[in-house]
Amino acid sequence: MYHSDRGSVYTSLRFANHLEDLGLIASFGSVGDAYDNAAMESFWATLKRELAWIHQRQRWSSRAELRAALFDYIETFYNRQRHQAGLDHRTPSEVYTATRVA
């Protein structure tokens, strides 16, 4: 899935055909609804920044290599090491374990 705003580049037929060739589906926020797009932009910015910081690079030579880096980010760093303010400064794994025990 490819999420973007409703800018002319992203809503053009050429771009839609390119997404289809890549096997991707377009996802757009509602017209005039800045909140949906802001949340996605924040998510992607954080993911890109932390992935680049962990792996000390911004480009991967193949989709398989990027997929492995994303898996490592989510399963190793995000779930087990990254403390989050919204979880009372615990990791998702700590919260999950605490709810399973209780």
For the full predicted model, state whether its pTM sits above 0.75.
Answer: no
pLDDT of the residue at 39: 74
- Residue located via tokens 């973007």: 4
Task: List all residues 6 or more positions away from 11 whose beta carbon is below 8 Å from its beta carbon.
Answer: 28
pLDDT at 62: 95
What is the pLDDT at residue 9?
Answer: 66
Mean pLDDT in each 10-residue stretch from start to end of the chain (102 residues)? 64 82 77 64 88 91 94 90 89 88 70
Radius of gyration of the chain (CA): 17
